[in-house]
Amino acid sequence: RVAAVAARCRRMSVSVRIVAGLTAEVLCEVTACREMPVGALKVLIAPMTKAAPLEQRLVFSGRALRDREAVGGLTEEDSLEIMLLRVDPKWAMTLEELRCGVLLLDEVSEELRDNWEAAAAAVTKSGMALGHASERLRGDKDLVLLAIKKTGNALRHASPELKADLSVVLAAVRRTR
């Protein structure tokens, strides 16, 4: 019975090795539940890596991970290696302020309004923030769809090309119902 429980636990967990992005130095190794969100993994490894969760960018297979992704969804293997990149603390705080609505996209510089990560943080809080993103970003399908997830009305701020894109329009219609 103990062996069966241990086997089930192994299937439900994954061994995670965290390595430094620039040096590939192993920073820590942890065992995580497969359902654990990446955001919770950041909290778990913060004391071991000496990097606050806001300052962490975790990368797997060349792709930045989102906080809500499940660790187990990254691989079917029993272990994985994730790269940790440290973000400038001021930049991390700016993104968090945009995400929480403490700082609004219409209050920041044109340069920041043209930054995809900053605009994405703002539209995550309010889809209508898309109206304050740069013209270039209002034509970015991924950003527009992110804004539409918050409110279908964000479509009004999309570029004319995306307003004519059937998949974007359908996403907006579904969200406004």
Q: Which domains does the chain have, with CATH numbers?
A: 2-87 (3.10.20.90), 90-176 (no CATH)
Is pTM beyond 0.85? Reply is no
Burial state string for 118-154 with b = 16 or more CB within 10 A and e = fewer than 16: bbbbbbbbbbbbbbbbbeebbebeebbbbbbebbbbb
- Per residue of the chain (177 residues), give pLDDT as tens: 545 544 555 568 999 999 999 899 999 999 999 999 999 999 999 999 999 999 999 999 999 998 889 999 999 899 999 999 999 999 999 999 999 999 999 999 999 999 999 999 999 999 999 999 999 999 999 999 999 999 999 999 999 999 999 999 999 999 986
Give every strand in the sheet of 26-33, ordered side by side.
26-33, 13-20, 79-86, 56-60, 63-64
Q: Quick one: which of 32, 28, 54 has its CA closest to 41?
A: 32
